[in-house]
Amino acid sequence: MLTGRRRVETRGLPFVGFACVMAIWLLAPLLLADRVAQDAVPFVVAGELVSSDPGAVYATDATDLYDLPPAFAERSCELTPPDRRCSDVNVAFLSPPQTLPFLDALARLGSGELGILVMRLLGAGALVAGMVVLWRRLAHRTRRAPVLLLVTALVLTPFATVPVALGQTSPLLFLSAAMGVGIAERARGRAAFVLVWCATIVTKLVPAAMGVVLVAQRRWRTLAWAAGVLVVLTALTAVLYPVDLFGQFVEATRRTTELTISHHFNRAADGLLRRWWPGFGSAPWPMLLLGLRLAVVAVLGWVGMRRATDDEQWAFAWLALLFISPLLWGHYLWVVPGALGLALASRPQLDDRMLALLPGFSLAVSAFATPNVFQGPLPWLQLVTLVAALVVVALLPRSDPVASAVARTHTRPQNENVL
């Protein structure tokens, strides 16, 4: 049974190995500096153009994801390695305008290459922070937990190179899933939770739906702080830049979403079925599939979440959000080890066999999502891995309902030393 205070396992070779792997992850932005930063470039270019040419930030007339405004395309090409064809790799900026004050400040560093490095460092830092949170939660829980966590870090290392090299913000999803909501019981943890969750919202918008979990758990103070941060960012954006950027964002998102559903790197059920059966994009099939996904989530939630702890609900909700969404890029599967690790850590009783699920799922994620392919079974296996993780997280609390109910009374002390 969990106690009020927790010790952090920092002894032995497994911890040394884990620390070395984390150091490699932090060095990855430098080791991968010559790779194309496909997702960092639009952030950097948007920050550079928002003051001088705000009308070129969003691709409101795009016919595909690579159709960029002329000024945006020109600057993106300047930041692309010369051995890569610009029109094949440079993509549009699709984050909400609330991201622009940070990106504007980033642009004032004076170098696009330095801005790309910062984006990569932020991604690597988020991945390491999420893994450290999982270590602190789990390393002391079973006899072989340190070894299992070291194996988890090792098998995830190839997958870590994907978001770091490309400069993606998906590591924030992993960090938010791994942190959980229980840390918001205390002021320091609440600040960290709000900062990370708001960062996922202003970079990807869809994570705002996670607020439903906070409402269900009646975490009004946490919601108020998050709302305050977003209101301040919105007001700052409206003061610093043209207000019509918000309308341009809506239009660019509307145009791009339909185009990207059929993109060959979309691993969601919508995209996979459209490529397998072109007629699937016509009514009523998309709505029927959405209804089916919602029904699956509702049934799993009813079966497994009624007696779950708040953190287990948070983990389940992250996986459910990815499952329901019509867009699922391979690097979003970072949520799987984060959510599964959080769910396992929330159990009052844990053994090595159950904890082995974490390196097992991490190996599947890394093996299926690291290869840059869009044909064959791997895209389908990515979706299967997500669904399997959703089912496992839903059924974990159900396997020991009495203990899960007892664990709810330990939520505060259990999470107070996570950060």
For range 55-69, the mean pLDDT: 89
The pLDDT score that the predictor gives to residue 411 is 40
Burial of 79 (0-12, 13-18, 19+ CB in 10 A): buried
Residue 216 in 3-state DSSP? helix
Query: Per-residue pLDDT tens for 74-118?
Result: 999 999 988 888 888 899 999 999 999 999 999 988 788 999 999
The pLDDT score that the predictor gives to residue 414 is 43
- Cα distances (angstroms) measured from residue 206 to each of 198, 200, 269, 347, 401: 11, 8, 17, 28, 31
Quote the pTM value.
0.91
Determine the Cα–Cα distance for residues 299 and 79; give it in Å rounded to an integer: 47
pLDDT over 70 (residue 402): no
- Exposure on the CB side of residue 126, measured as CA atoms within 13 A: 30
Which of 133-142, 147-156, 278-287, 346-355 has the lowest average pLDDT?
278-287
- The answer to whether residues 404 and 397 touch, using CB atoms and an 8 Å cutoff, is yes
Find the Cα–Cα–Cα–Cα dihedral 414, 128, 329, 376, rounded to 10°: -110
pLDDT over 70 (residue 267): yes
Q: Nearest to residue 312, comparing CAs of 221, 199, 386, 405?
A: 405
Query: Per-residue pLDDT tens for 316-346?
Result: 999 999 999 999 999 999 999 999 999 999 9
- The answer to whether residues 57 and 93 touch, using CB atoms and an 8 Å cutoff, is yes
- The answer to whether residues 330 and 382 touch, using CB atoms and an 8 Å cutoff, is yes
pLDDT over 70 (residue 7): no
For range 222-248, the mean pLDDT: 97
Residue 297: CB atoms within 10 A of its CB come to 20
DSSP single-letter state for residue 83: T
pLDDT over 80 (residue 406): no
The pLDDT score that the predictor gives to residue 8 is 66
The pLDDT score that the predictor gives to residue 274 is 84
The pLDDT score that the predictor gives to residue 1 is 32
Query: Per-residue pLDDT tens for 173-211?
Result: 999 999 999 999 888 999 999 999 999 999 999 999 999
pLDDT band at 412 (very low <50, low <70, confident <90, very high): very low
Phi, psi angle pair for 35, to nearest 5° = -80, 155
Largest CA distance in the chain: 61
pLDDT over 70 (residue 215): yes
